[in-house]
Amino acid sequence: MKTLSFLVKPVSAGCQLNCTYCFYKDIAENRSCANYGRMRNEVAVALLEKVFQAADGDADITFAFQGGEPLLAGLPFYEQFADAVKQLRQPKQNVRYAIQTNGCLLNAAWCSFFHKHNVLVGVSLDGWRKQHDLYRKRKNAGTYADVMRAIQLLRRHHVDFNILSVLSRQLAREPKKLFAFYKEHGFSHVQLIPCLAPLQEKQSAYSLTPELFYQFYRSYFDLWIQDVENKQYQSVALFDNLLLLLQGKTPGTCGILGECQFQYVVESDGSLYPCDFYVLDEYHCGNVLDTDLLAARDCSRAKAFAYREEPQLCAACPFQPMCHGNCKRLRSVFMNETQCGYQRFLLYAYPKLKEVVEIGAGRKKRREVTG
């Protein structure tokens, strides 16, 4: 295979925080085993052996580590992982690393490792102190100060990082304040992750709604486009992906084309799943200890997962050829029976986005932490 990407859960759903909206905690509670513990060395080795057996001699390979909180695996786990990659990879194979963290465990040793191995770090930060601490808590205490300290460490060690903000119902009401916060702190690469309701519910007190999706992105886009016109480009995941689509290029975010590609999510026991949103028993596609990667991708459960039907609202949508209904899990935050907030946003922003493509505004190539 020419391009491979793996989302590795080295400590399963384990985390030292108790974030109210955590989608992976919700997923874990809906399967037979909520937490598989820390990944054993033999599982990591089996994964790498399978990867490099399947990869072409000049393949691009990405390992992204998430949780839970992946730093709980400990620095020695990642040092051993990187050493094994160095031993197994062929000279022309390109290996990239990314990790998503709440930042609370970061120290100089971690930052030195990230810098040495060019690890892209996604730091979870939901804006200013009051907003961030609303849902991201540890024993009823906020974590904002710890996260800002971690960001300073990353900068001091020249580590490439993105800011990952969960776009909750509350945060979506403050687009201007969030934009100003990012600018005040010099955050040039941000990913706004739509806040989901639990699997068994349509909405929750914190999940995003179609109306709020539209209102937030319309207001945020107005501020963003002003900066673009002044040659100040803030990399925002959704906008970057739309610009790539308008150029006829493949976007980096899974699901934005409306197709479910097999994502190779690897739980800490080695179990393989097609998607981070569906790490559930019914979508278990084998284990790296005894399953070939191609066999996992082509198994009946993976094919059943990939099957999808577009909502009725998509039939008459002018953006259907570009969107195809988008991600079937994220769709719940921008679409209901009567409206699609994503369509409304595109109707508003599409003309300006086309202008950005035509003038070729100076943009840096984006690296994303999450697919």
Active site residues: 276
Cα separation, 97 vs 74, in Å, equals: 16
Cα separation, 245 vs 124, in Å, equals: 27
Radius of gyration in angstroms for the set of CA atoms belonging to the chain, rounded to a whole number: 20
| 3-class secondary-structure state, position 123 | strand
Cis before 68? omega within 30: yes
Amino acid in the structure at residue 305: F
Cα separation, 304 vs 275, in Å, equals: 13
Element (H, E) at 256: none
Q: Where are the alpha helices (H) located in 287-329, listed in sequence order? A: 293-297, 300-306, 320-323
**Residue 123 contacts by C-beta under 8 Å, 6 or more apart in sequence?**
101, 102, 103, 147, 150, 151, 154, 161, 162, 163, 164
